[in-house]
């Protein structure tokens, strides 16, 4: 794995959301009696829509399996309709190389930290059903990789784009049930040492399906 300085990029993404929130005029806050802050916790299903280039030397392609995890997000409402959301989660995926010259190769597993920052538009902020759509950016960090049958494996961290749609269904003044779907375009270059050094580009491009609770102060 590469050294820790890449984590500064994640800090920068988070700082953008919260610095902007901190310098908003007080007149924005006056538009609503509620706090501008919302937090959500969800059970998250991750389904990679993966594809990869042909692995050099041995042929075949890399495949990434589905995963279930949890996520936590923090939203700041600039107005009743417009909000920024920062989503944090850690996921673990098993990886295999299939169709190679030496058959199926177990490439172990890897953990992903994919913070995602989106700008949202909330269509019905005062209703019981509050749908929203969003778009933004993602930066994925790969860490704690186990190479499986290989000697070593390395994943390059990467930026990608994200789209989302969801709905908050009000329970009372503060609590809501949240359903959220995200699509992230995520590609990484993978270098595997298994005798010879082989390389492939893997498009993970996951769908994220979440359900959980939202709380707004």
Residue 76's CB is within 10 A of a number of other CB atoms, namely: 19
Q: CA-CA distance, 71 to 65, in Å (whole number)?
A: 18
Contact status, residue 5 vs residue 64, Cβ threshold 8 Å: no
Query: Backbone phi, then psi, for 151, in 5-degree steps?
Result: -75, -40
Domain count, the chain: 1
The pLDDT tens digits for 68-123 are 999 999 999 999 999 999 999 999 999 988 877 767 889 899 999 999 999 999 99
| 40 DSSP β-pair partners | 73, 214
125: exposed, middle or buried (C-beta count within 10 Å: 0-12, 13-18, 19+)? middle
Q: What is the pLDDT of residue 142?
A: 95
Torsion of CA 212, 213, 216, 217, to 10 degrees: -140
Q: What is the pLDDT of residue 57?
A: 62
Q: What is the pLDDT of residue 3?
A: 43
Q: What is the pLDDT of residue 8?
A: 43
Segment 12-39 shows an average pLDDT of 56
Domain that holds residue 95: 4-216
Find the CATH number of the domain harbouring 211: 2.40.160.20
Nearby residues of 63 by Cβ (< 8 Å), 6 or more positions away: 50, 52, 95, 96, 97, 98
The pLDDT tens digits for 160-208 are 999 999 999 999 999 999 999 999 999 999 898 877 788 888 899 999 9
The pLDDT tens digits for 134-160 are 999 999 999 999 999 888 999 999 999
pLDDT at 24 over 60: no
* Whether this model's pTM surpasses 0.85: no
Q: What is the pLDDT of residue 32?
A: 46
Residue 158's CB is within 10 A of a number of other CB atoms, namely: 17
3-state secondary structure labels for all residues of 72-84: EEEEEECCCCEEE
Mean pLDDT of the chain: 85
């Amino acid at each position: 794995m590469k050294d820790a300085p890449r984590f500064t990029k994640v800090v920068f993404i988070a700082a953008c959301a919260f610095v902007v929130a901190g310098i908003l005029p007080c007149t924005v806050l006056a538009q609503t009696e509620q706090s501008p802050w919302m937090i959500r916790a969800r059970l998250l299903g991750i389904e990679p829509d993966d594809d990869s280039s042909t692995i050099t030397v041995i042929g075949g392609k890399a495949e990434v399996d589905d995963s279930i995890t949890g996520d936590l997000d923090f939203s700041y409402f600039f107005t009743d309709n417009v909000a920024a959301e920062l989503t944090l989660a850690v996921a673990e995926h098993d990886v295999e190389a299939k169709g190679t010259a030496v058959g199926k190769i177990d490439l172990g597993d890897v953990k992903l930290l994919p913070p995602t920052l989106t700008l949202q538009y909330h269509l019905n902020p005062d209703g019981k059903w509050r749908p929203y759509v969003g778009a933004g950016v993602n930066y994925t960090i790969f860490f704690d990789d186990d190479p499986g049958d290989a000697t070593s494996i390395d994943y390059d961290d990467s930026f990608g784009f994200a789209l989302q749609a969801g709905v908050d269904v009000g329970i009372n003044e503060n609590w809501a049930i949240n359903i959220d779907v995200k699509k992230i375009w995520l590609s990484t270059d993978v270098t595997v040492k298994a005798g010879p050094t082989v390389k492939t580009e893997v498009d993970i491009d996951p769908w994220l399906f979440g359900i959980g609770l939202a709380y707004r102060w």
